Amino acid sequence: MSKFKTIAVIFAILGLITTSAMAKSAKTLDNEANLAINKFIEENKSADAFLVKSKAFLVFPSVKQAGFFIGGKYGEGVLRIGRKTKGYYSMTSASIGMQMGAQEYSLVIAFTTDASLNKFLLSDDEWETEVDGKIALAEWNSKEELDTEYDDPMVAFVFDSKGLMGSFSMEGTKFKKLKP
């Protein structure tokens, strides 16, 4: 298969992923976010205390990622402040580089400072993250307690992963406010 056909197939797959996900209602997103939070807490008992301590958190119950040198990911989620829904967001990313595979996972991004939360909230319905340390990817497993003290203003937790992807990166990821 030529390079251009491969690129076209990847974008067609990503288009299907995005189209199917965009049909979700606010009620569906809230229900899926609740299930994802419960799974997160089930996998690590100290997660509940961490979420309570954080200023706010974004929950993406299903992030779908695929790539073969050119890739992308998409997910829709909920912003929670004090366990109450304050908004709905999509997460989109495209990348080029050494990557291959497909996976689906859940993602929680916790805001640990007022400044990071305010910067996110004050962005004009769209916010981008880069690879300069704005979001730290926490390393943990179900046999460990979560560290409740992070120096980073935002911490991401990937869990309930299915599939296999050769790389994971938050670089170039765009968050956009939704109105379901």
Instruction: With 0.85 as the threshold, say if the pTM is over it.
Output: no
For position 150, what pLDDT does the model report? Answer: 64
pLDDT band at 11 (very low <50, low <70, confident <90, very high): low
- Which residue has 């962005």 as its token pair? 123
pLDDT of 155 strictly over 90: no
pLDDT, tens digit, 9 for 90 and up, residues 18-50 = 544 455 899 999 999 999 999 999 988 788 888
Coil, strand, or helix at residue 50?
helix
Do 173 and 129 touch, CB atoms closer than 8 A?
A: yes
Band the pLDDT of 9: cuts 50, 70, 90.
low
Q: What is the pLDDT of residue 139?
A: 52
- For 111, 130, 131, 157, the CA distances from 46, given in Å and listed in that order, are 17, 28, 28, 13
Mean pLDDT, the chain, as a whole number?
A: 78
Any idea what DSSP says for residue 55? S
- Whether pLDDT at 8 is above 60: no
Within 8 A by CB and 6+ apart from 117, the residues are 55, 56, 81, 111
Q: Tell me how far apart the alpha carbons of residues 141 and 119 are, in angstroms, rounded to a whole number.
A: 30
Strand partners, 71: 67, 95
Are the C-beta atoms of 106 and 159 separated by less than 8 Å? yes
pLDDT for residue 16 is more than 90: no
- Residue 85 Cα distances to 18, 48, 88, 117, angstroms: 22, 17, 8, 14
How far apart, in whole angstroms, are the C-alpha atoms of residue 110 and residue 102? 25
Cα separation of 15 and 35, whole Å?
25
